[in-house]
Amino acid sequence: MAEDRTPEQEAQGGGDEIDMSRRHPLEYRWTLWFDNPAQKQSMNKFGQGLRPVYSFDNVEDFWCLYNNIKAPSQLQPSATYYLFKDGIQPKWEDPKNANGGCWTATVPRAANPGQLLDAWWLHLVLACIGEQFEEGDEVCGVTVNIRNGKNRIEMWTKTAANEALQISVGKQLKQLLDMSDNTKIGFSVFADKLQQGKARDRYSV
């Protein structure tokens, strides 16, 4: 070992040292929100307990957050994590969401559904903050909803009217979650939900 190199530097090999003091910026700043209403929410009271937990714009701060909060499978039924780009509130009414909609994937029965839910959430979050979706600008945020026996993740996007774009996002989402061709996921439109409370899926893949 060269005398002026520490064992850590030696272990890294080559001469290129990793600068551990440098933070690795993300394309966007993101905020994690949390909600855990005591009872099912009505549309006009939605979001009363919703609160931002932490914002980050670099890889290191993301892991700091991730390592210090509960995994989704450890949350109470009715809790929701929302991870949204800075400046977008996790509400259908937010101007950035109002013309959008969401893809919804319900966690299937599995040997260990909690483990699957946690893996889905981590993969989804990493793909979003790491700009892995081809239409990264289209993404507003993602959610993981803990609902007795019907846990799900949602991916909220901006432009519901653009069918081709939404289909492309939906297909990438299925691939990311390693879902089979036989399993269908649906895209619902927020304007429909705001009008009728519920909405039928507009698209599916």
Q: Which residues bind ligand MGP (CB under 6 A)?
A: 40-43, 46, 91-93, 145, 147, 197
CB of 91 to ligand MGP, least distance (A): 4
Nearer to ligand MGP (CB atom), residue 39 or residue 182? 39
Nearer to ligand MGP (CB atom), residue 95 or residue 197? 197
CB of 139 to ligand MGP, least distance (A): 16
Under 8 Å CB-to-CB from 9, ≥6 apart: which residues?
Answer: 17
Nearer to ligand MGP (CB atom), residue 40 or residue 109? 40
83, burial (CB in 10 Å: exposed 0-12, middle 13-18, buried 19+): buried
- CA 163 – CA 202 distance, rounded (Å): 9
Q: Which residue is nearest to ligand MGP (CB)?
A: 46
CB of 169 to ligand MGP, least distance (A): 19
- CA 47 – CA 202 distance, rounded (Å): 25
CB of 71 to ligand MGP, least distance (A): 19
- CA 72 – CA 146 distance, rounded (Å): 7
Lookup: tokens for 53 = 């937990």
